[in-house]
Amino acid sequence: MSDFVNETIESVHKALVQKEFSVTELTQRALDFTEKRDQDLNAFITLDKDGAIKQAEEIDNKGIDDDNILAGIPMGMKDNIVTKGLLTTSASKILSNFTPIYDATVVEKLKAQGVVILGKTNLDEFAMGGSTETSYYGVTKNAWDNTKVPGGSSGGSAASVASGEVLYSLGSDTGGSIRQPAAYNGIVGLKPTYGRVSRWGLIAFGSSLDQIGPLTRTVKDNALVLNAIAGVDNKDTTSANLEVPDYTKNIENGVANLRIAVPKEFLAEGIDPEVKNTINLAIEQFKSLGAIVEEVSIPHTKYGIAAYYILGSSEASSNLQRFDGVRYGFSDRTGKTLEEMYQNTRTEGFGEEVKRRIMLGTFALSAGFYDAYFKKAAQVRTILINDFNKIFENFDIIIGPTAPTPAFALGSENADPKTMYMNDVLTIPVNLAGLPGLSINAGFSSEHLPIGLQIIGKAFDEATVYKAAFAFERATQLFKQIPGGQK
């Protein structure tokens, strides 16, 4: 075994417990493969060879209990999640020399499980983008086709799992940044309910929208990782003080009589016919598994993108003000005045897309424009939440495509940011409403690119989302398809 494309967390765990190989051997193999594969893929910004081996050796010394499922499993951490003593850049020049002195809560939790962090995965700068092309550290390629984007912003996290470099990764999702790259790479990605997973240590983009979540090859693996990272955290007072169920417990219960809503807006104009076709087949699949599927309407879907880009950018414009070159990170000290240091540092330190959003957000919050932009967007958000609530009075989950198209060609959408923004049309409403959303591979395009099915659940009902995804996965067995990588 050189890569993990035919493996799952469960299967590797079994092998580790049975001592077929040590964690150190496993980690070394993963590092060797990743180093080779990443020459083309570029899924990682930092490969922590020494750190990973050290962690592996420690776990080998301690031994692995049967129920310690994540122990010794190599994983990739999105590089906007801070890791103590390990470079954390958020794919930006402005943090290109930033080594945190503390761990994010999710990192702490995974370290307690004996995790092996292989390295830090690539992303769009500050998670702003849908293709991982805005990274200061170069583009990541799609695991299925190296002429295509991996999606974004968690492109590195998705590609590293799909290519078999790691068994799972963590990403973050503000407007689709876990689900869309999961869809483009044919894997499972979950954005949990807002408040399910602590954001402490996640470098903020849009604080009211950001959530950390797992990317995995299979649904059950995904549930296993969520089990490990979910829960209230007193360091994040927006995290929910609710009990976390064992997400694997009822995962195999099937979808008989599950009430599924399909919003007609999710399959309307602008959705690629191949995507539409694949999702329609998925709907038939669910029906054949005993689910009750009905068409519904979320009439305000079309306002989601506008509201999102105002709210997310407004929050980002404030969150990113702290990068001033004073206390950490890149600093240009050639200027003579404080003002010049701020300007030079930020002009050089931020890329174009980040600057665009800072300007957009700053404008939307400015005196005289606040009511017309920020306030209006906040109202749209409330309306969308009501739309979802109404549907969930009668349905258990909502399904549709994750993205309007399969992965697009590298460089093809850079010219017009608005085209790029449209890719998030189906994922954004879920962030605005704070709901859990999962993407799972539902089939392939004529170019053999994966097409994602999105499953949206009620707030804090990830269990039902997983149950539906598992039933679909069991019926389709699509996770057994392996990417070729080279075109």
Which positions are annotated as active-site residues? Answer: 78, 153, 177
- The answer to whether residue 313 forms part of the interface with another protein (CB under 8 A) is no
From 28, 297, 362, 481, residue interacting with another protein (rule: CB under 8 A)? 362
What mask, x for binding another protein by CB under 8 A, covers residues 28 to 67?
Answer: ----------------------------------------
Please, what is the minimum distance in Å from the beta carbon of residue 339 to another protein? 9
What mask, x for binding another protein by CB under 8 A, covers residues 215 to 234?
Answer: -------------------x
Please, what is the minimum distance in Å from the beta carbon of residue 370 to another protein? 7
From 50, 367, 415, 477, residue interacting with another protein (rule: CB under 8 A)? 367
**Residue 213 forms beta bridges with which residues?**
171
First vs last C-alpha separation in the chain: 23
Instruction: Select the span of 17-25, 100-108, 181-189, 475-483 touching another protein (CB under 8 A).
Output: 100-108
- The answer to whether residue 172 forms part of the interface with another protein (CB under 8 A) is no
**How far apart (Å, rounded) are the C-alpha atoms in residues 207 and 372?**
21
Which of residues 38 and 79 has its CB atom nearest to another protein in the complex? 79
From 82, 139, 158, 161, residue interacting with another protein (rule: CB under 8 A)? 82
| Total interface residues for another protein by CB under 8 A | 45
From 62, 235, 333, 487, residue interacting with another protein (rule: CB under 8 A)? 235
- Contacts with 96 (C-beta within 8 Å, 6 or more apart), sequence order: 89, 136, 329, 330
* DSSP labels, 63-122: ---TT-TTTT-EEEEETTB-BTTB---TT-GGGTT---SS--HHHHHHHHTT-EEEEEE-
From 2, 6, 97, 238, residue interacting with another protein (rule: CB under 8 A)? 238
- The answer to whether residue 297 forms part of the interface with another protein (CB under 8 A) is no
- Cα 368 from chain centre: 35
Name which of 213, 220, 159 is nearest 472 in CA terms. Answer: 220
Q: 19: phi > 0 → left, psi -120 to 50 → alpha, else beta; which?
A: left
**How far apart (Å, rounded) are the C-alpha atoms in residues 345 and 47?**
27
- The answer to whether residue 365 forms part of the interface with another protein (CB under 8 A) is yes
- The answer to whether residue 318 forms part of the interface with another protein (CB under 8 A) is yes
Are 57 and 50 in contact by the 8 Å Cβ rule? The answer is: no
Instruction: Select the span of 347-355, 364-372, 425-433, 435-443 touching another protein (CB under 8 A).
Output: 364-372
From 202, 258, 261, 471, residue interacting with another protein (rule: CB under 8 A)? 202
- The answer to whether residue 292 forms part of the interface with another protein (CB under 8 A) is no
Please, what is the minimum distance in Å from the beta carbon of residue 42 to another protein? 23
Instruction: Select the span of 36-44, 293-301, 367-375, 410-418 touching another protein (CB under 8 A).
Output: 367-375
Which of residues 56 and 81 has its CB atom nearest to another protein in the complex? 81
- The answer to whether residue 324 forms part of the interface with another protein (CB under 8 A) is yes
What mask, x for binding another protein by CB under 8 A, covers residues 375 to 414?
Answer: ---x------------------------------------
Which of residues 21 and 98 has its CB atom nearest to another protein in the complex? 98
Distances (CA, A) of 208 to 138, 239, 303, 314, 458: 28, 11, 18, 11, 18
**Residue 460 forms beta bridges with which residues?**
none
From 62, 295, 370, 480, residue interacting with another protein (rule: CB under 8 A)? 370
DSSP 164: T
Are 274 and 448 in contact by the 8 Å Cβ rule? The answer is: no
Q: What angle do CA 389, 390, 395 make, to 5 degrees?
A: 90
Map tokens 């790691």 to a residue. Answer: 166
- The answer to whether residue 236 forms part of the interface with another protein (CB under 8 A) is yes
From 315, 387, 396, 462, residue interacting with another protein (rule: CB under 8 A)? 315
**Residue 82, token pair as written in the block:** 């801070």
Instruction: Select the span of 204-212, 348-356, 398-406, 409-417 touching another protein (CB under 8 A).
Output: 204-212
Please, what is the minimum distance in Å from the beta carbon of residue 200 to another protein? 5
- Packed helices 105-112 and 219-229: angle between N→C axes, nearest 10 degrees: 110
Are 40 and 146 in contact by the 8 Å Cβ rule? The answer is: yes
- Cα 3 from chain centre: 22
- Cα 294 from chain centre: 28
- The answer to whether residue 350 forms part of the interface with another protein (CB under 8 A) is no
Please, what is the minimum distance in Å from the beta carbon of residue 57 to another protein? 28
**How far apart (Å, rounded) are the C-alpha atoms in residues 310 and 125?**
18
Name which of 136, 322, 304, 89 is nearest 209 in CA terms. Answer: 304
Please, what is the minimum distance in Å from the beta carbon of residue 235 to another protein? 6
- The answer to whether residue 314 forms part of the interface with another protein (CB under 8 A) is yes
Strand order in the sheet with 74-78: 44-47, 116-121, 74-78, 168-173, 211-216, 188-191, 437-444, 450-457, 397-401, 259-263, 292-296
Please, what is the minimum distance in Å from the beta carbon of residue 82 to another protein? 4
Are 140 and 62 in contact by the 8 Å Cβ rule? The answer is: no
Which of residues 281 and 378 has its CB atom nearest to another protein in the complex? 378
Q: Which residues bind another protein (CB under 8 A)?
A: 81-82, 88, 90, 95, 98, 100-102, 104, 199-204, 206-208, 234-238, 314-315, 317-318, 321-324, 326-329, 338, 342, 362, 365-367, 370, 374, 378
